[in-house]
Amino acid sequence: MSVLIKGGTVVTADQTLRADILCTDGKIVQIADNINQPGGFKEIDAGGQYVMPGGIDPHTHMQLPFMGTVASEDFFTGTAAGLAGGTTMIIDFVIPNPQQNLMEAYRQWREWAEKSVSDYSFHVAITWWDDTVHRDMGILVREHGVNSFKHFMAYKGAIMATDETLVNSFARALELGAVPTVHAENGELVYRLQNDLFSTGISGPEGHPLSRPPEVEGEAANRAIRVAEVLGVPVYIVHVSARQALEAVTRARNEGQRVFGEVLAGHLLIDDSVYRDTDWGRAAAHVMSPPFRPKEHQAALWKGLQAGNLQTTATDHCCFCHDQKAMGREDFRKIPNGTAGVENRLEVLWHHGVNTGRLTMNEFVRVTSTNAAQIFNVYPRKGSISVGADADLVVWDPEATKTISAKTHHQKVDFNIFEGMTVKGCASHTISNAELVYADGELMVEKGAGRYVNRPPYAPFYDAVKKQAQVNAPMPVKR
Ligand code: DUC
Ligand code: ZN
Ligand code: ZN
């Protein structure tokens, strides 16, 4: 299909202008003041609306096998829900079990993702270390378009990466021109605190945030950042939720280190009172890691986003329904960790970011799309509105209002952490690969239409990093 978007105001990371956009064969082919085509094009009236790059959610977990169950949202339903909210690309995670061959896990996730309706890509988690992992990281970067590797510093006894694995993998990422990312929580401390709390009789969801205090995140973020500093590799901290972790990121950036920080829509907007809900199901539905924090952390996170110390927003979309959460009815340590949000990220950030004046519209585009595209090296194909870019666009109605609810959302989960929140500003139309896939509440998606997006390594940038390391290298001592 070919799509002509007429009468809208184009908003990108760096400009706002009145223009029509013509899309065909998957690409943006013309951006001009007044485009008139002789038919054959699906015309979208964007009068009074904004046209922005489709959102990129750099952190989702569709159909993740985790904590004894499998996330309820799969790649088909999850990418469709994303499109309904204006998100046109996700970066999900291949998470091999410890000792599992990386390529085997990668192939498994690629197969699961074939039913996606929007474009997608993968970070690959490094959960253990040996020579085959070293080798397969190279194969993934050179032959499969993977340029980022994830490290869970928590989940001891499962997918936690030890410091030894972290150091080996970070060093290998530098060699390959890939960026290491980390889930920053000190897994040893979490394990200790969980068991201490449980043995003193705390078994409900209120034990979850107590076992993962902000300091546990701050320590791990700082450790990962310092490891990256010593090795001279950039690092990306996923879901920064606590002031202490943000301070570690900010400190390092002020020192000139290349550190990136991601924040979740949920962490910006929800506080830890949810764990004191007297309804067990509602409290358990909010169990995710890192947990929701006391309010002062949200204020700090907004400032971090405004100041540019946090560059991306994500959701950590990882859905578990009530019956799955019930696995931890008697023991909070067994509640599957995860919450949803891929459908709602843009609208809640617009409402609480742009409508409140915290973010300009251009900053909104940066933190929901462009920065992720640049950090994960798919810009300007994604995250931009330019001739030749993928036609992944959202038409945004700033006057539309809606009240978010699990009863009406497209996400395949029976709970919504933003339940009852009324937002002003929503996607009216979403275009994916030059196809109109969502219009005025209706999804028109085709199973399998989404494509795997290769993300090349950062060769030019890493050359600069290596040159700088040579400049900084100490002179050998002559004896
Ligand atoms: N945190 C979650 O809440 N779920 C999936 C993985 C993670 O790190
Ligand atoms: Zn995580
Ligand atoms: Zn995650």
Looking at all shown ligands, the one closest to residue 239's CA atom is 2
Q: pLDDT in tens for each of the 479 residues of the chain?
A: 799 999 999 999 999 999 999 999 999 999 999 998 778 889 999 999 999 999 999 999 999 999 999 999 999 999 999 999 999 999 999 999 999 999 999 999 999 999 999 999 999 999 999 999 999 999 999 999 999 999 999 999 999 999 999 999 999 999 999 999 999 999 999 999 999 999 999 999 999 999 999 999 999 999 999 999 999 999 999 999 999 999 999 999 999 999 999 999 999 999 999 999 999 999 999 999 999 999 999 999 999 999 999 999 999 999 999 999 999 999 999 999 999 999 999 999 999 999 999 999 999 999 999 999 999 999 999 999 999 999 999 999 999 999 999 999 999 999 999 999 999 999 999 999 999 999 989 999 999 999 999 999 987 556 666 666 666 667 777 77
46: which residues sit within 8 A by CB, 6+ positions away? 5, 6, 7, 8, 9, 395, 429
- Nearest atom, ligand 1, residue 154 CA: 8
Residue 468 has a pLDDT of: 64
Distance 157 CA to ligand 2 centre (A): 16
Looking at all shown ligands, the one closest to residue 65's CA atom is 1
The span from the CA of 181 to the CA of 224, in Å, is: 9
230: which residues sit within 8 A by CB, 6+ positions away? none
The span from the CA of 120 to the CA of 317, in Å, is: 14
Cα first-last separation, the chain: 73
15: which residues sit within 8 A by CB, 6+ positions away? 362
Q: From start to end of 330-386, where are the E strands?
A: none
Amino acid (1-letter code) at residue 128: W
pLDDT single digits (tens) 74-93: 999 999 999 999 999 999 99
- Nearest atom, ligand 1, residue 339 CA: 3
- Please state whether 3 falls in left (phi above 0), alpha (psi between -120 and 50) or beta: beta
Cβ atoms of 191 and 269 closer than 8 Å: no
Q: Among 67, 72, 333, 337, which is best to mutate for testing ligand 1, by the most ligand atoms less than 8 A from CB?
A: 337
- Which of 274, 240, 208 has its CA nearest to residue 419? 274
Q: Which residues line ligand 1 (CB under 6 A)?
A: 61, 66, 183, 288-289, 316, 318, 337-338
pLDDT single digits (tens) 89-106: 999 999 999 999 999 999
* pTM for the structure as a whole: 0.97
Looking at all shown ligands, the one closest to residue 64's CA atom is 1
The span from the CA of 254 to the CA of 252, in Å, is: 5
Domains located in the chain, CATH noted: 53-383+453-459 (3.20.20.140)
Nearest residue by C-alpha to atom 8 in ligand 1: 289
Which residue matches tokens 């990466």? 161
Cβ atoms of 50 and 15 closer than 8 Å: no
Residue 37 has a pLDDT of: 78
- Residue 265, both tokens: 């829509």
Q: Among 66, 93, 159, which is best to mutate for testing ligand 1, by the most ligand atoms less than 8 A from CB?
A: 66
Cβ atoms of 443 and 84 closer than 8 Å: yes
Cβ atoms of 331 and 305 closer than 8 Å: no
**Cα atoms in the Cβ-side hemisphere of radius 13 Å centred on 314:** 27
Distance 338 CA to ligand 3 centre (A): 8
Residue 23 has a pLDDT of: 97
Distance 316 CA to ligand 1 centre (A): 7
